[in-house]
């Protein structure tokens, strides 16, 4: 058993001892309802020509400029109307929403920017908590 799982199990065991009846309370991340809007898509053709199998891949094919939708960040990864969602973008959105909106903290403007982790064709998103 690795250290992370050991710490997680020991924390749950401690919670079980403190709760009435000794039942283990379910620990879940809160879901954060956000409106996600694509602000800009970039394409670094010089990097794509050097490092990608398809040197003419172009900008991100999953999202389009102006795309906007509402999601429960922190839940299961949704699919768009075409049945796809970028895992790199979803991970970046969830991480940004949790660090910016988690625990009731909201930035001074109420919005934050996030970017997916694709180094050759990143997408910049605007997150607004609903």
First-to-last alpha carbon distance for the chain, in angstroms, is: 40
Q: Where are the alpha helices (DSSP H) in 3-113?
A: 3-18, 45-51, 87-101
Burial class of residue 68, CB neighbours in 10 A (0-12, 13-18, 19+): exposed
Q: In the structure, what pLDDT confidence band is assigned to residue 19 with cuts at 50, 70 and 90?
A: very low
Please list, in sequence order, all residues whose beta carbon lies within 8 angstroms of the beta carbon of residue 28, skipping any fewer than 6 positions away.
none
What pLDDT sits at residue 109? 63
pLDDT digits (tens, 9 = 90+) for 27-69: 555 677 888 899 999 999 999 888 888 888 888 888 888 888 8
> Do 59 and 43 meet the contact criterion of CB atoms below 8 Å apart?
yes
pTM for the model: 0.67
For residue 53, report the phi and psi dihedrals to the nearest 5 degrees: -65, -35
């Amino acid at each position: 058993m690795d250290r992370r799982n050991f710490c997680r199990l020991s924390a749950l065991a401690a919670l079980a001892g403190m709760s009435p009846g000794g039942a283990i309370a379910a620990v879940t991340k809160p879901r954060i309802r956000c409106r996600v809007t694509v602000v800009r898509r970039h394409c670094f053709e010089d990097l794509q020509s050097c490092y990608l199998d398809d040197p003419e891949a172009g900008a991100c094919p999953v999202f389009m400029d102006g795309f906007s939708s509402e999601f429960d960040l922190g839940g299961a990864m949704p699919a768009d109307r075409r049945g796809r969602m970028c895992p790199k973008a979803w991970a970046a959105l969830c991480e940004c929403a949790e660090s910016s909106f988690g625990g009731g903290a909201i930035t001074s403007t109420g919005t934050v920017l996030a970017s997916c982790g694709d180094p050759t064709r990143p997408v910049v998103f605007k997150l607004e908590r609903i």
